[in-house]
């Protein structure tokens, strides 16, 4: 019996030793792959090792989970990275960075609440960590960004995407009928699979726009720009004759370093590429080229010494000036952060677009826009949703002069594969609408509006049959508009449009006083039993001053009217005094007295009801004269009082339209 027990114990010990040796072997192989940046193969070994380590070996499990998380993070698989880092934290990994990277992976997965919790836990250990503070801010803001997207319209491109990863689309210079993008689809050169991504090595593919405006099927470029290695992330000179692209040469024994290559186009063919020697530093990577709008600078991403974080954006002079030859510059800390800045490109107005994980964002790489204010000062803004997502968003290209094009993202792909999306910014529309109508009357379909703007606008247009008009206006412009119609005085309106990139509607109406009929002046009030104007009257009288200044050849009669209460002589004196008060106000405000005649009619000219008035006062009919006899015939006290109020009024009537016209 004892021998049997010893035998079983020996078998168990041997099994444990075998498992331990097996896991150690897998860890060593994983380390070897990771050392040369072959993360896909390394992850396979670490995963194998993790499954063989007993759960009681917490320290060892934590270490392997950490290594597995690093492989997934560096190969852009945030879903698996989150699980691996979670295990590293659960088993008490000594490096608290596992908690930081867990928070980042959760953010990329759109798990904002969990990400906030992880960032807060990490900040308790490292309260001064800038990247963690930015990450926490991102986790707190992302939901709001997603809830309030900007005006960009984003759609996954069916034509430019294949069955694998497709990314970094780029228009060929100013030619918007051709796009060259990077793809790992099955048509890519060679049969080998990348030990970094597990997909085929990427190649450059060309997509053309046909005569009907539809994108054709992508075809691999049959040229030496494609090789058995990783080729992609290209850029072009403005004329489209020179292509710069990234090539990453694989070596089983050394780390992978990316380089930038150059190819010249002859007719439709791309020539043999040559490596662009940017620096003597052969232990740094140079990738993601972008040519400045003037063609003088090659912008790129590099981890070379002298940067501000992991990957920085630099620029290298490629212009014709010999004095500038060989100059390399970091674009500076206004763009570059402690994180990674990658995939530079240029917008329609020369903006520097790039992707970064070093600014508050929605997760992973976010697309940023840098506007240069002077030689050293930049204004950087996050492009927000829907251009950005919780995943990696990068590699924009713009159609020449337009906020329209393509970009790439791994949003919504659990494998971390990238896909190409189209985007466009709907044109901002600012519309001015309104009506021309007779003051106290109806629409004037014969009306004409004259419009002058400080941007050089000088135009005129007629109104619709219903007196309405609509015209498109430009943001950030000041306009003066003149409403006119034969038989009516002119009226002016001003408009200052907003300087915002958002749709806006404005309304300006024109109430034109008749030349042939009396015109009521609204809201004219006097002190009781006096001719003294009250303060409430000044607004309407100031508008009358503007009207007279706008129509300088007009003379008018200012008339005041009373109701039938009081004696005839009293009403006559009071109305004359009140008319003179109005004239005096107008003269005091710059109107020539020769243009003004004050007449008090007392109760001698009762109000005649117009068709427009019957819409408000339904008990009246068009043509009714609100005489004393008419009012006394009414039985309703409220109607009686209304008629008295209508009779108490101040009006003006145009007398001449030729004042000083022929002087």
Q: What is the pLDDT of residues 167-176, one digit of tens each?
A: 999 999 999 9
Q: Pick from 660, 439, 655, 658: which is nearest to 557 by CA?
A: 655
The pLDDT tens digits of the residues spanning 265-309 come to: 988 899 999 999 999 888 899 999 999 999 999 999 999 999 998
- Report which DSSP code applies to 466: T
Residue of 495 and 10 predicted with greater confidence: 495
- φ, ψ for residue 487, nearest 5 deg: 90, 5
The pLDDT tens digits of the residues spanning 565-597 come to: 889 999 999 999 999 999 999 999 999 999 999
* CA–CA distance, 339 with 312 (Å, rounded to integer): 8
Domains in the chain, CATH or no CATH each: 23-147 (1.25.40.10), 157-418 (2.120.10), 430-512 (2.60.40.1120), 519-656 (3.30.1330.60)
* CA–CA distance, 75 with 197 (Å, rounded to integer): 6
> HSE of 378 in the Cβ direction (CA atoms, 13 Å)?
16
Residue of 662 and 365 predicted with greater confidence: 365
Residue 440's contacts (CB-CB under 8 Å, 6 or more residues apart) are: 519, 520, 610, 612, 613
The pLDDT tens digits of the residues spanning 48-89 come to: 988 889 988 898 998 998 999 999 998 888 889 999 999 989
Least confident of 10-14, 151-155, 263-267, 560-564: 10-14
The fraction of the chain above a pLDDT of 90, given in percent, is 73
Q: Residue 423 in 3-state DSSP?
A: strand
Residue with tokens 């004196």: 573
How many angstroms separate the Cα of 465 from the Cα of each of 459, 469, 513, 632? 20, 9, 19, 41
Q: Residue 186 in 3-state DSSP?
A: coil
pLDDT at 20: 52
* Partners of residue 246 on adjacent β-strands: 232, 260
Tell me: cis bond preceding 317? Omega within 30 of 0 counts: no
Least confident of 65-74, 97-106, 190-199, 363-372: 190-199
Q: Pick from 528, 516, 541, 549: which is nearest to 650 by CA?
A: 541
> pLDDT band for position 95 (50/70/90)?
confident
Tokens (6 digits) for 114: 């969990």
pLDDT at 17: 41
CB 408 within 8 A of CB 154: no
pLDDT at 252: 62
> pLDDT band for position 438 (50/70/90)?
very high
pLDDT at 254: 60
> pLDDT band for position 12 (50/70/90)?
very low
Beta strand pairing status for 468-473 and 430-438? antiparallel
How many angstroms separate the Cα of 406 from the Cα of each of 54, 234, 258, 381, 449? 48, 14, 24, 19, 42
* CA–CA distance, 422 with 417 (Å, rounded to integer): 17
pLDDT at 655: 95
> HSE of 141 in the Cβ direction (CA atoms, 13 Å)?
18
- pTM strictly above 0.85: no
pLDDT at 13: 41
Tokens (6 digits) for 291: 């040519």
pLDDT at 291: 97
User: For all residues of the chain together, what is the average pLDDT?
Assistant: 91
- φ, ψ for residue 580, nearest 5 deg: -65, -35
> pLDDT band for position 255 (50/70/90)?
low
Specify the DSSP element, H or E, that contains 452: strand 448-453
Beta strand pairing status for 312-317 and 297-302? antiparallel
The mean pLDDT of 425-435, rounded to a whole number, is: 94
Residue 257 above 60 pLDDT? Answer: yes
Counts for the chain of helices (H) and strands (E), in that order: 12, 33
> pLDDT band for position 15 (50/70/90)?
very low
> pLDDT band for position 463 (50/70/90)?
very high
If one counts every other C-beta atom within 10 angstroms of the C-beta of residue 510, the result is 25
Residue 256 above 90 pLDDT? Answer: no
pLDDT at 34: 86
Residue 180 above 50 pLDDT? Answer: yes
If one counts every other C-beta atom within 10 angstroms of the C-beta of residue 617, the result is 14
């Amino acid at each position: 019996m004892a021998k049997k027990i010893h035998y079983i114990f020996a078998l168990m010990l041997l099994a444990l030793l075998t498992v331990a040796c097996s896991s150690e072997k897998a860890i060593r192989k994983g380390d070897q792959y990771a050392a040369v940046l072959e993360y896909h193969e390394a992850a396979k070994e670490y995963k194998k090792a993790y499954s063989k380590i007993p759960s009681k070996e917490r320290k060892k499990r934590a270490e392997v989970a950490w290594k597995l998380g690093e492989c997934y993070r560096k190969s852009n698989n945030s879903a698996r990275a989150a699980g691996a880092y979670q295990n590293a934290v659960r088993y008490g990994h000594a490096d608290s960075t596992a908690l930081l990277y867990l928070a980042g992976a959760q953010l990329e997965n759109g798990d904002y609440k969990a990400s906030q919790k992880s960032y807060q836990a990490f900040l308790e250990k490292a309260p001064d960590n800038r990247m963690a503070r930015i990450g926490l801010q991102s986790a707190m803001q992302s939901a709001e960004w997603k809830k309030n997207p900007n005006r960009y319209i984003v759609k996954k491109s069916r034509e430019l995407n294949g069955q694998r990863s497709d990314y970094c689309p780029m228009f060929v210079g100013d030619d918007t009928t051709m796009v060259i993008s990077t793809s790992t689809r099955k048509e890519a050169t060679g049969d080998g699979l990348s030990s970094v991504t597990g997909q085929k090595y990427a190649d450059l593919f060309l997509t053309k726009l046909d005569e009907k405006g539809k994108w054709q099927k992508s075809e691999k470029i049959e040229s030496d720009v494609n090789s058995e290695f990783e080729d992609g992330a290209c850029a072009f000179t403005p004329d489209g004759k020179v292509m710069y692209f990234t090539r990453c040469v694989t070596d089983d024994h050394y780390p992978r370093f990316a380089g930038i290559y150059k190819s010249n186009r002859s007719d439709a063919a791309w020539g043999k590429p040559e490596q662009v020697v940017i620096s003597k530093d052969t232990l740094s990577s140079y990738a993601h080229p972008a040519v400045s709008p003037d063609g003088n600078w090659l912008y790129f991403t590099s981890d070379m010494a002298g940067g501000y974080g992991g990957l920085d954006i630099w620029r290298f002079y490629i212009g014709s000036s010999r004095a500038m030859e060989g100059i390399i510059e970091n674009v500076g800390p206004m763009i570059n952060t402690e994180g990674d800045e990658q995939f530079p490109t240029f917008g329609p107005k020369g903006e520097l677009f790039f992707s970064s994980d070093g600014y508050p964002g929605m997760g992973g790489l976010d697309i940023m826009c840098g506007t240069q204010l002077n030689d050293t000062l930049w204004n950087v803004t996050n492009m927000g949703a829907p251009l950005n997502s919780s995943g990696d968003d990068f590699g924009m290209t713009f159609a020449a002069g337009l906020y329209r094009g393509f970009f790439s993202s791994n949003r919504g792909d659990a494998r971390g594969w990238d896909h190409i999306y189209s985007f466009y910014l709907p044109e901002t529309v600012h519309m001015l609408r309104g009506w021309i109508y007779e003051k106290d009357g109806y629409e004037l379909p014969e009306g004409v509006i004259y419009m002058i703007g400080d941007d050089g606008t000088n135009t005129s247009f007629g109104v619709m049959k219903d007196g309405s008009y609509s015209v498109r206006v430009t943001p950030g412009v000041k306009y003066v508009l003149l409403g006119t119609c034969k038989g009516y005085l002119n009226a002016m309106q001003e408009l200052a449009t907003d300087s915002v990139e958002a749709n806006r509607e404005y309304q300006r109406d024109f109430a034109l006083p008749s030349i042939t009929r009396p015109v009521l002046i609204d809201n004219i009030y006097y002190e009781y039993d006096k001719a003294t104007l009250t303060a409430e009257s000044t607004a309407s009288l100031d508008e009358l001053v503007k009207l007279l200044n706008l129509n300088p050849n007009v003379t008018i009669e200012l008339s005041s009217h009373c109701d039938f209460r009081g004696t005839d002589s009293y009403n006559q004196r009071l109305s004359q005094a009140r008319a003179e008060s109005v004239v005096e106000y107008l003269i005091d405000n710059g109107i020539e007295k020769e243009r003004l005649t004050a007449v008090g009619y007392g109760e001698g000219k009762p109000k005649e009801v117009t068709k427009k008035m019957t819409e408000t006062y339904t008990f009246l009919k068009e043509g009714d004269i609100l005489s004393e006899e008419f009012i006394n015939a009414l039985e309703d006290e409220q109607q009686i009082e209304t008629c008295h109020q209508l009779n108490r009024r101040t009006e003006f009537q145009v007398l001449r339209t030729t004042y000083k016209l022929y002087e």
